[in-house]
Structures are given as C-alpha cells and as structure tokens.
Amino acid sequence: MRKFIASLDIGSSLIKLVVGEIVKNKVNILACVEAPSRGIKKGYIINPESATEALNEAFKSAENIIGIKIKKVIATVPSHYAECSLASGIVATTSEDKVIRNVDIVKAMQKCVYNKVMDHKELVTVLPTSFIINDEVVNNPLNMISEKLSMKAIIVTVPKKNMEGLSICLKNIGVELVDIVISPLGDYYEHKTKDSNKEIGAVINIGEETTTVSIFNRGILTNLEVIDIGGSSITSDLAYVYKISMENAKYVKEHLALAHTRLAQPNESLSFKDKYDENVKINEYDASEIVMGRLTEIINLAKKQINLLTKKEISYIILTGGVTESGDFDILVEELIGNKGIIGSVEEIGARNNKYATAVGMIKYYNSRLKLRNVEFSIFNLDEQAELGGTDKRINVSDKSLLGKLFGYFFDN
C-alpha cells in the first residue's frame, strides 16, 4: 500500500498545506500550497467562519494540483503552554513466545499516559526515551525476549483550548483531523541530522507573530517556550519609521532589506507613497538596519530562553521559519550565535523554503509514529491511489489503518 500523508501548518499569516508520499523513507511532494490566514491569530481559531473559508481555499488549491479530494489531514495546534513531562510504564509481554513486538510498545505507551493527562489537557504525543528489559536499558526492544517491558517516555500535552474549533472548521469542508502536532516536532524532524540524535540542541522557529524555542535531548523534545514576537514586528517597525502601509512595509522586508547591514547597498532603493501621500525613498542599507535591529532582539531573546529551558550544554541551535530566508541571515547568525548556529534548509523539491519546514517535517514525524506502531496508513484509499496513477492491485487493509488520535484517541479507556 502506498503511503500518502497531508499536513496542515496553521500560521498567523499563512496556512500551509503539504501533501507527500513516503517512498523509501523519503518524502516526495505532490502538492505544496499556501493561503492567507483569516480568522486565525497565533494559530488559534478566533473566527470559525473566516477560518473555514481560508482552510477551504488551501485545500481547493492542493486538490486542483493532485486532482483528488483530500479527506484526512494532520495539523498543527498552538504550542502555547505546551508541557513536556516524564512518565514510565511497565507491561507484560503479550505473545506466548515472549518476543517483544510493536503491540507491546504501544501498550507500554498507553501505560505511560494512563491517568496522567488532565481533563483540560490534550495529548499530543508520547516520545519513548528508553526501554528496560531484563534489567537492561536498550534503545530498541523489538524482537527481544522478555516477560516484561518497561518504558520511560516524555508526554507532550497542550491545553484543550489550543485546538478549539479546528476539527469543526475542517469538518465543515469535509476533512477529518486524524492527529495533532506542535510545530517543534515538525521543525526538528525536517532539519535533524545523525549527530543531532546524539546531542542536546535547540530549535528556534521565527514565525509571523511568535517565536518558538524548543530543546531536544538526543532527538526527544524535553522543553519549549513561545515568545510573543516575530516577523510581523519587523513589518511594523518599517511601517512606523517610513510612515508607509503594512503592505508596503512587508514588501520592503521581503524584497529590499537584508538581515545584516554588512553587504547592504545605500544606492539600492524603492519608492512608496507614505500616509501623507508624499513620496518616500527607502534604501537597502537603512531598511536593513531596521530589520537587523529587530532580528537581533528576537534571536537574543531566544538565546536567553534557551538558558532558561535547560542548564545543559547546547551542541547546536537550528533556526527555521520563513524569516530565515532573508538575505544575509547567515551573517547575522554567525555574529550572534557562532558555529553552533545552523540555518535550516528544506531539501524536498516543491517545498524548498523554510516557511514549509514545519509542514514537511510533520509528515516525517507522523511516518515515524506509524512505523513505531507497525501500522499502515494513507489519506487515500486504494481506488483514490489508482486515480493518482498508481497500481490497481487490491490488498487487504486492516481497520487499524483508519486512525483516530495517534497515541491518544485510540487508547482504550
């Protein structure tokens, strides 16, 4: 069965929708679209009617590309007040031969969260940190022999209010929300390396209205915080200084200004009408100075937050989000962070921009969860896959492939 996954990254400025196929553990992009966010603020649905219209626009754009209805999706929810807590669980091996299988790992995860998620919280994920069998710590217990399996894990939760209205808005356009994800998980899975899975590091995502700082210990999310400042502050600074509209200020930010003044040219300029209907000429150097000042503030705030989130030595700091695509952003990172700073890069053809990092990474993250459970899943059934140009061969599909909430709703009460 071919594996197709759709991910929805709901931002304050843009809604990003990515449809990908997993082939040999890599993501092939089928559609990558965006639509202006309406009725949404900092990822929260504040006007369901407007949000539904915006979501419908994004889905229609993607469906026009692939030529088929998208009926299922995984989506981001705001990371505000997300909590990462330690948990443990122990279960008896289910098979007669006492060989540990995926079902035993899932049951150990269920045990980890049993009676540990408060009523006002929503479970995002369970991240195993270690397994113990026969008094020995192992990284992967699959196919090992033991009567019991113990697990230590990180439980990630968010307030229920973080996803209020989302499933309803999606349902209004005929789309089922099969799982929720917070952006740091997508960011990490998109930019991680072999070394990052062995080290302690941080990921900074500079969004439109917020900057999310998260800590990863050997690939496991252990802490995060959201700072209420982002790219829109840069736009506001330019609009205020030059007395121009926010629309024109955004154009200056994206098409003229650089993230650092080192290579900025005073003779490169753009002209606009200010709010007094007078001509104002903006040169690259002056605009870059304003952008650089605000970006410096954001990155320094993020660095301070890293020190508050962990006392352990950081080996790397990955920076991502659309703002990191600004010209000469690498110069600023080198100056403020040094050789620990890494600017993320989306390598998948069709989505090569850091504004899509979260959405593409979500697909990789979700696929890793499916593999851990040994579950087959695709947003398209076999008939729909045939419409996409695939094989007409029919195979038996388990009811378990119709997922509810991964590591959440599917738990038995």
pLDDT at 389: 63
Residue 318: its H or E element: strand 316-320
Number of domains in the chain: 1
Q: In terms of C-beta distances under 8 Å and separation of at least 24 residues, what long-range contacts does 263-268 make, across chains too?
A: 263/328, 263/331, 264/288, 264/289, 264/328
Contacts of 358 (CB under 8 A, 6+ apart): 9, 16, 76, 183, 186, 187, 190, 205, 320
User: Quick one: pLDDT at residue 373?
Assistant: 83
> How much is the pLDDT for 8?
98
DSSP-derived letter for residue 265 is: -
Cα 397–Cα 399–Cα 402 angle in degrees, nearest 5: 100
Instruction: Specify the CATH number for the domain of residue 230.
Output: 3.30.420.40
The one-letter amino acid code at 298 reads: I
pLDDT score of 307: 97
Answer yes or no: is 214 within a domain.
Answer: yes
Compute the half-sphere exposure of residue 362: CA atoms within 13 Å on the CB side of its CA: 29
Asked if residues 378 and 364 have their Cβ atoms less than 8 Å apart, the reply is no
pLDDT of residue 98: 93
Helices (H), 133-283: 166-172, 183-191, 231-242, 246-255
Distance, in Å, from the CA atom of 302 to the CA atom of 307, rounded to the nearest integer, reads 9
Alpha-carbon distance of 358 to 398, in angstroms, equals: 30
Residue 396 lies in a domain: no
CA atoms within 13 A on the CB side of 274: 12
Other CB atoms within a 10 A radius of the CB of residue 41 amount to 13
Tell me if 209 is assigned to some domain. Answer: yes
Per the listing, tokens 């150097």 go with 285
What is d(CA 294, CA 216) in angstroms, rounded to the nearest whole number? 26
Q: Which residues of the chain have pLDDT under 70?
A: 389-413
Give the C-alpha separation, 95 to 101, whole Å: 8
* Residue 217 belongs to a domain: yes
Domain assignment present for 95: no
- Tell me the CA end-to-end span of the chain in Å, nearest whole number: 30
CB 318 within 8 A of CB 202: yes
CA distances from 246 to 39, 192, 239, 251 (A): 18, 35, 6, 9
Query: Does residue 39 fall inside a structural domain?
Result: no
Residue 121, Cβ density class (10 Å: 0-12 exposed, 13-18 middle, ≥19 buried): middle
Exposure pattern of 285-313 as b/e (b: 16+ CB <10 Å)?
bbbbbbbbebbeebbeebbebbeebbeee
In angstroms, the CA 284 to CA 267 distance is: 7
- Residue 299 is part of which domain span? 196-345
Residue whose C-alpha is closest to residue 379's, from 19, 9, 16: 19
Would you say residue 341 lies in a domain?
A: yes
Residues 178 and 39: their CA atoms lie apart, in Å, by 22
